[in-house]
Structure 1
Amino acid sequence: MPSKLDQLKAMTVVVADTGDMAAIEAYRPTDCTTNPTLILKAAEMPAYQDHVAEAVRWAAGQGGDRAARIAAACDRLAVTFGAELTRRVPGRVSTEVDADLSFDTRATIEKARAIIAAYAARGVPRERILIKIAATWEGIRAAETLQKEGIDCNLTLLFSLVQAAAAAEAGAFLISPFVGRILDWYRKSTGQDYTAETDPGVLSVRRIYTYYKAHGLGTVVMGASFRNLGEIEALAGCDRLTIAPALLDQLAKDEGRLVRVLDPEAAARDAKPARIAVDEAAFRWALNEDAMATEKLAEGIRLFAADLAKLRALVGARLDA
């Protein structure tokens, strides 16, 4: 029997959640996602020191003050990794806008345009790139503008149905609901453990998937942030799933039968969820009423911003040397 990874690929687009080139080549996903945490990890690996050195050398010749040169080097490093990844996957590569811009619509738009321009300078067309943006109200509005310009967006740090509904109404190409981080919050909050079928993160993605299919919304649902194989198997059939190398390895070694759980035709036929209002007031109120989503969104932005700060410190030290 084929491995569970091969079975999953037959029903879901498998995306690698890593910046490690070796892992990409080993598991041959269709797409790849990165974020500040993954870029930081890759930048600290011996195999990628040439990439770091090149970005620092390039930034040293740029204008602006030290902070501007550090930021330029970090942007170049992210695009360097992304461009390498486009040569290793046939589909899309996600590159993230700085987390500290999560509440600034205009700055997010400008950064996204600069990222796309940097890829274009390397011969990578925008059709190969997804711009990752935190699913704040401001981030969703930025995605709305970018999508109209033909720049496809991946709205990340998504923990609630109202975020998903607003993202779809804005025309976002893709959303990344975070399964494992939702589970983390409920484990800590309730002191309980959960099976794959009761996992709050799994149930959240299933609700979003059903809502999209029932209302004919074209935004892609890509489950992310998995803690175990059970979560992945419980979402088999989802549009896309982005999976870390350790879990890809487990899937590749498991030859058990994988059952399809999510099916677009069944969801569209059987489900009748109400359409959600997505104006700013309703969005902010619904998010405020969801303690888990509010806390995990804020925490996720802080964590990505902290790792971006570490990356800037690493680059700054090299720039000063």
Structure 2
Amino acid sequence: MIYLLLSILSSTVIFVIFRLFKKFEINTLQAIIFNYFVACAVGLTWFIPNPDIRVIPQKDWFLGVIILGFLFIAVFNLAAITTQRSGLSVVAVASKMSVAIPVLFGIFLYQESTGLGKIFGIILALFAVYLSSIKTNKSLNIQPKNLIFPLLVFFGSGIIDTSIKYLEANYVANEDVGLFSSAIFAFAGITGISILTIQAFSNKLKFQWKNVMGGIVLGIPNYFSIYFLVMALRNPDFESSTLFTLNNVAIVTLSTLLGIALFRERLIKHNWIGLALAVISIILVARSAV
């Protein structure tokens, strides 16, 4: 349980940092790329005694972390495109509703429990995420030609969570959790550097040291968000469908409350309804795990 709580806390801190990026006009793409190398360094320094990165290509999960590293950058860029074309609420809904993918994965592939209380709680959680993410009284406005981008964000985000669960369950040994987490960030960073290189050759790269500082600040909680999530998934008392639901809804709820407390965000009526549904869903899903 403690690992789940720490994962929720780490992910919520990331939300606060992203809000501060906007305030200090930090280039989010550059900061995210630098953050991946910082997150990798955190794992290699704090969690792995005498790390030997030469063994990584020999690991059964090696190909998996390469794919995950690429997906991290790809989904971020797709989210940016979605925000530009359809708005922030659309990308928030697409990324957060993606929790349905690892939940279904756990139920059907691992034959996890499907009690009435749990199923109802998961359905409520999806409604809660949707209602909490909409920041306007108007309905989501997505032009047909732009529909592909939020769909790719939805599936990409869901595939990332599902892949982490699959690799953790089948290929990652207990002593490799730190190295596994670090390797994901390393390959994400390497992929990101290729993007910056292309920008540099096309004269579109505007480097500023504050973006590096932003990456350092972001990298520490980002590493822990993945590390603690993997550790929580290893808890035999929690099914992955339960854990992903609790993790996602709790992050949305805590992030929304911090938005009110720290940034004076104003919620509209369906945001409050979403928060209420989130609390109910957490209680229902948590009770099903007891």
Same topology, TM > 0.5: no
| Higher share in strand | 1
Q: Whose helix fraction is larger, Structure 1's or Structure 2's?
A: 2
TM-score by length of 2: 0.29
Which structure ranks higher in relative contact order (CA pairs < 8 Å, sequence separation ≥ 6)?
Answer: 2
